[in-house]
Amino acid sequence: MKDEKILKAKDIVKEATSITVLTGAGISAESGVPTFRGKDGLWKNFRPEDLATPQAFARNPKLVWEWYEWRRKLVKEARPNPGHLALVKLEEEKPKFTLITQNVDGLHKMAGNKNIVELHGNLWQIRCTRCGSVEEDFNVPLEKIPPECKKCGGIGRPNVVWFGEIIPMSIIERAIKSIKECQVMLIVGTSGVVEPAASLGLLAKQTGKVVIEVNLEPTLNSTLYDLTILGKSGEVLPLIVY
């Protein structure tokens, strides 16, 4: 059954000239980066309200930065896995390809994908809370936390989207445009519970696209999609792409 689904997905992807992919934490799990939900998920051991909200940062920027420093150290050791690399191959092969990711770990960029929409920002970028300038800083640990803006001396924050914050409209518009223009959408390693990412697969179905999901387990939206292939993305994606 699973093999038949993979062969069907392989044919659909092969025929398509325009593909949009949405990824979540699951694609980085095989690189050793913890996901958020599920048995060993980050939200099992930490409360998002304490660490991933503007209020938490205003209350205690050092504590929030200590958590992000821990995540940066974890991700610094991580390397792209075969699932990431399969998406690089797909981008090389397809005339039109967009990779929308909820992940902030930067592993898609490290793997070599180019047309990436980082819905939730990037762990390696620091945004000044005063002047808004954004800088990449790969130092682990950082020189000091919270970091100071080199331009104005303001306090730097992780350039990620926290709970209670909105994603810049320009980023959402890029994601939606890529879904409207694609023939096939792959949805990989996301539990589909956080908006607006969770509705992107629905938008694809409402605009007549073929949607293929790859996940360890069925998700809330699986019944909406054309195919749900249960398995590790690092194993399934190479079988679909190569």
Is 120 an active-site residue? yes
Considering the complex, what minimum distance in angstroms separates the CB of residue 97 from ligand APR? 20
111 binds ligand APR (CB under 6 A): no
The tokens describing 154, both together, are: 């303001």
**C-beta of 98 vs 122, nearer to ligand APR:** 122
The token pair that represents 32 in the structure block:
């050793």
The answer to whether residue 37 forms part of the interface with ligand APR (CB under 6 A) is: yes
Burial class (CB in 10 A: 0-12, 13-18, 19+), 132: exposed
Pairing of strands 156-160, 134-136: unpaired
Rounded Cα distance, 38 and 34, in Å: 10
Nearer to ligand APR, 149 or 214 (CB): 214
Which residue stretch of 29-37, 66-74, 126-134, 150-158 sits at the interface with ligand APR (rule: CB under 6 A)? Answer: 29-37
Amino acid letter at 156?
A: G
Alpha-carbon gap, residue 229 to 1, rounded angstroms: 10
By CB under 6 A, tell whether 38 contacts ligand APR. yes
Cβ contact 175:200 at 8 Å: yes
**Burial letters for 174-193: b for 16+ Cβ neighbours within 10 Å, e otherwise?**
ebbebbeebbbbbbbbbbbe
Among 120, 127, 209, 232, which one carries the catalytic annotation?
120
- Contact flag: residue 122 with ligand APR (CB under 6 A): no
Q: Which residue is nearest to ligand APR (CB)?
A: 26
Q: How far is the CB of 222 from ligand APR (least distance, A)?
A: 10
Footprint on this chain of ligand APR (rule: CB under 6 A): 24-26, 29-30, 35-38, 41, 102, 120, 189-191, 193-194, 214-217, 219, 232-233
List active site positions: 120
